[in-house]
Amino acid sequence: MRIPTSFDNYRIVQLSDIHDSEFGEDNSKLVNKVKQLSPNAIFITGDFIDGNRYDLEQSLKIIRQLQAVAPFFYVTGNHEISTNDVEFIKGKLDELGVHVLTNESIIIGDEVKIAIGGIDDPLSSSLAEEQYVEEALEKAFEDVPEDMFKMLLSHRPYELDSYVTKRIDLVFSGHAHGGQIRIPGIGALIAPGQGWFPEYTSGIHEKSGTHLVISRGLGNSIIPIRVFNQPEIVVVTLKSLSTE
């Protein structure tokens, strides 16, 4: 990966699949942990809320308490889309200064810059999922120079081939909940969009120069339990190998 020297030690905290869960009163445990990590950016990779027990105000408390810690970057998951209230959700996040990425990129940095892009969840479109992701990526990075370091927030991890084709350097995803139930020595049991014994549920995956970081997520939705699969906050620290 071509990480500029000016972004060496740039720390990203990823929060995914919160699903309106609560960790301590007013999410104090989660908020305090993020503060301790001292991030340069906080990425929310979808399912910030839960379509089955929609409580936006509860989840917004996380944003309000962390506004001064680092800038937020956000993309939708399938649960935001399923509420049919997605524009209201985006509006509330925007009011709090969150960078809501809807098939678009933001370029950050001073002399040397990098791009942070994000695409809406495919549930927002009537297109076939793969076609939607390809078109959304094209739109998101259409004004980004080919040689610029690119990061992407995209809820669904199993579209890795599309991320590779677009030559994204680093992708952050969630959605799979770590496979919900993990069997020691075997791995994840089941995940949406991937079925039984899914491949893309957690950790870091690499293909043709694209690195995919998958969060196991923090909350639960339809299935209320996890087995051998703890909720997680993901922390990624960029390291530049350049001698410039």
Mean pLDDT of the chain: 95
E strand intervals along 119-194: 149-153, 170-173, 182-183, 187-188, 190-191
* Percent of the residues in the chain that have a pLDDT greater than 70, as a whole number: 98
As a whole number of Å, the CA-based R_g of the chain is 17
**Measured distance CA(77)–CA(217) in Å, rounded:** 12
**Measured distance CA(188)–CA(229) in Å, rounded:** 9
Section 15-21 average pLDDT:
95
Q: Residue 225: what pLDDT?
A: 84
Section 175-185 average pLDDT:
94
Section 30-35 average pLDDT:
97
Is residue 108 scored above 70 in pLDDT? yes
Is residue 208 scored above 70 in pLDDT? yes
Q: Residue 242: what pLDDT?
A: 63
Is residue 214 scored above 80 in pLDDT? yes
Q: Nearest CA to 154 among 193, 188, 113, 126?
A: 193
Q: Residue 2: what pLDDT?
A: 83
Strand 182-183 and strand 149-153: the pairing is unpaired
Is residue 49 scored above 70 in pLDDT? yes
Section 105-129 average pLDDT:
96
Q: Nearest CA to 220 among 122, 79, 13?
A: 79
Q: Residue 1: what pLDDT?
A: 60
- Condensed to tens digits (0 to 9), the pLDDT of residues 230-243 reads 999 999 999 998 64
- Residue 145: CB partners within 8 Å, gap ≥ 6? none
Q: CB neighbours (10 Å) of residue 233? A: 19
